[in-house]
Amino acid sequence: MAFKYFLEILVLAVCVEFGSSIRCYECNSANNSMCLNPTIYDTETVQKYLRATSCDHSAFLGPNPPAAKQMFCRKIIQTILHKGHDAEVRVTRGCGWVRHHKDCYKADNEDHLETVCQCFTDDCNGAMTLKHSLVITFISLGLILLKYY
């Protein structure tokens, strides 16, 4: 009987992430070319060279992030227009705190074009997302509970 409860606590401890902050990739293609398109790299390389950060500890936010706002992940693609030169594309991934009413939107300024996308799950602004991990966790937990009850 004690083993059953130990197993349930162990499954919960392994599968449930504590805390309320979201984890996002944080990079700028100006100094990390992998930030442009991480989908062309394997998972191990992305994990090694593309920094993921907890949004409550984001370098871009400083020491006191806006606590009243719910943080999210954001990806910004900028096409910088240089007069007389080729356009330059830059990608910035990081944490956001001022939401837009659309998940993705475009901005057109005099010197650059911008596409901004926001998302609300861990590492969603990177190459690969684990959308099904929560479903798999609950199915596994359900199967374990069915076996022991």
The CATH number of the domain holding residue 26 is 2.10.60.10
- Answer yes or no: is 72 within a domain: yes
Q: Is the pLDDT of residue 6 over 60?
A: no
Decide if 66 contacts 97 (C-beta within 8 A): yes
Whether residue 90 is contained in a domain is answered as yes
More confident residue, 8 or 14: 8
Q: Supply the range of the domain harboring residue 117.
A: 21-126
Residue 6 located in a structural domain: no
pLDDT in tens, 87-114: 899 999 999 988 899 999 999 888 889 9
Neighbours of 33 (CB within 10 A): 11
**Inside any domain, residue 87:** yes
State how many domains the chain has.
Answer: 1
In a domain, 148, yes or no: no
77 falls within a domain: yes
CB atoms within 10 A of CB 15: 14
Task: Look at residue 49 and tell me if it is in a domain.
Answer: yes
In a domain, 136, yes or no: no
Q: What is the mean pLDDT of the chain?
A: 76
pLDDT in tens, 65-94: 555 468 899 999 999 888 888 889 999 999
